[in-house]
Amino acid sequence: MRLYAYVLEGRDLAVEDSYVKLQLGKFKSKTRVLKNTKNPVWNEEFAFRVHDMEDELVVSVYRTVEGSGFFNMSADLVGRVRVPIGSVAAEENHNLPATWFSLVKPKGSRSKNNRDCG
């Protein structure tokens, strides 16, 4: 089975210069970095091969932290959401409509506000 994931946009993120990383099992992909916006619109599509229906699609939002030079860029985790693959398979036509997800903040985060990505 193939899983198609669409990363559409983020809303009221606490940071600018962000990107999204997706992981399903051992497979990873990421969006491009969108700079100078707390409301990024990525509109990107990703395809993953599903090997285990018990897996989760992990969607993580990161803020880029630029160093000196192209290869010296690091990232801070803003938050993530886990989507069980079984929940997609249970839907009619194996399709979830476009959905807003609240990000779960990493442990130790000072911000109490959840931000949305859809």
Question: Cα dist. 14→9, 37, 65, 75 in Å?
Answer: 14, 10, 14, 14
CATH code of the domain covering residue 57: 2.60.40.150
pTM: 0.83
pLDDT digits (tens, 9 = 90+) for 89-100: 777 777 788 889
pLDDT digits (tens, 9 = 90+) for 24-67: 999 999 999 999 999 999 999 999 999 999 999 999 999 998 76
Domain boundaries, position 83: 2-117
| Of the candidates 85, 89, 88, 66, the residue with the CA atom closest to the CA atom of residue 16 | 66
Tokens at residue 53, please? 């229906």
21-25, 69-73, 83-87: which has the minimum mean pLDDT? Answer: 69-73
Tokens at residue 99, please? 């959905």
Number of structural domains (the chain) is 1
